[in-house]
Structure 1
Amino acid sequence: MDDLDIRDLTEFRFWSTTFDPPIDDPTFFLSNHLSITSALLLTDLIFPACVLVRGCVIRKEIYDPENFERWWRETGGATEVIENVLNHLHLWDLLEPNEDAEYRALEILAPRIAQTWKSHVQSQFPDRVICTEVNDDYGPTVTMWTA
């Protein structure tokens, strides 16, 4: 897991030590903690479906016609600005870290999400150039837009 050992995360370490001998298998951890619903929602987050609206590629899950129209009017139809505003994900809004290792884990997770957004959305819109970036706007934040 890049430069983070799964055993650095308190939740995994605590769970692992409830077994004798301790279990270090992340797959077994997932089978005990991840529901089908959560797994499906996670894949929707990592591999987002998108819609094309007035030349803007927008993640389908966050597309709201009224909100889009407001941004369209306020920006004068600046597609890159609209995509940047609407297609961002603050990981802290989704996952609340409780320790240093979890903050590091989010720093690893953010670029992975950015990469999957880029490749997956590029496959949905092969005629467009999909761009992603990770910044520390409010914790690790993933943003996507078209160039």
Structure 2
Amino acid sequence: MKGWIRAGEEFDPRSFLQSTASVGEAAAMSILFWPEFTEYRKGVFLGFLFERRGVDAWFDELKGDEVAVEGVVNHVHLWDVFAPKVEAEYAVLVELAPRIAAMWRAALESAFPARRFVVSVADASEDYGPTISIRSA
């Protein structure tokens, strides 16, 4: 995942973050990486994406199928979150998506130990850039 670092440079995430990221940016990324969830109408939704009226509209459209609604609502296109500036950053997003997915799996298992979920990663060729989604199993 070091394609965006100059060849031959040692990478220290602490120094990099201290020089490039604000505390606010770190807090926002922590919400993306380890999200909170909202339970609603037997479904589980990413808290930062949940909007009751929109979810209700999907429940109406999909005839109450909570798994289908979860699949529509619970997806994040990394191109919509991060703005790659050079080609190497696009490649890094493809590598970053499975890491975020692993964190989402762990967060779901922590929040809902008795439930099972499917956490999917689609790369740029399958969707609009690297995309992570969750739904109940």
Common fold by TM > 0.5 = yes
Q: Does 1:101 align with 2:91?
A: no
Segment drifting more, 83-92 vs 27-36 = 27-36
Give the whole-Å Cα distance in 1 for the aligned partners of 2:47 and 2:16: 31
Q: Give 1 or 2 for the bigger CA radius of gyration.
A: 1
**Match runs of 1:100-119 below 5 Å:** 100-119=87-106
Q: 1:78 aligns with which of 47, 62, 65?
A: 65
State the Cα distance separating 1:119 from its structure 2 match: 1.1
State the Cα distance separating 1:121 from its structure 2 match: 1.3
Give the whole-Å Cα distance in 1 for the aligned partners of 2:15 and 2:116: 38
**Match runs of 1:118-137 below 5 Å:** 118-136=105-123, 137=127
State the Cα distance separating 1:23 from its structure 2 match: 6.3
**Match runs of 1:7-26 below 5 Å:** 8-9=3-4, 12-13=5-6, 24-26=11-13
- Report the equivalent of 1:43: 30
Q: Which runs of 5+ in 1 are unaligned?
A: 17-21
- Report the equivalent of 1:52: 39
Q: Does 1:144 align with 2:134?
A: yes
- Report the equivalent of 1:19: none
Q: Which runs of 5+ in 2 are unaligned?
A: none
Aligned CA RMSD, in angstroms, stands at 1.9
Quick check: which one's helix share is greater? 1
Q: Deviations over 1:73-131 (max 9, x none)?
A: 00011111111111100001111223331121001100111111011112101121021
Residue type matched to 2:55 in 1?
Answer: F
Query: Match of 1:61, SS?
Result: coil
- Runs of 4+, deviation exceeding 4 Å: none
TM-score, L = length of structure 2: 0.89
Identity of aligned residues (%): 35
Q: Which structure has the higher relative contact order (CA within 8 Å, separation 6+)?
A: 2
Q: Deviations over 1:13-36 (max 9, x none)?
A: 3xx9xxxxx764332111111111
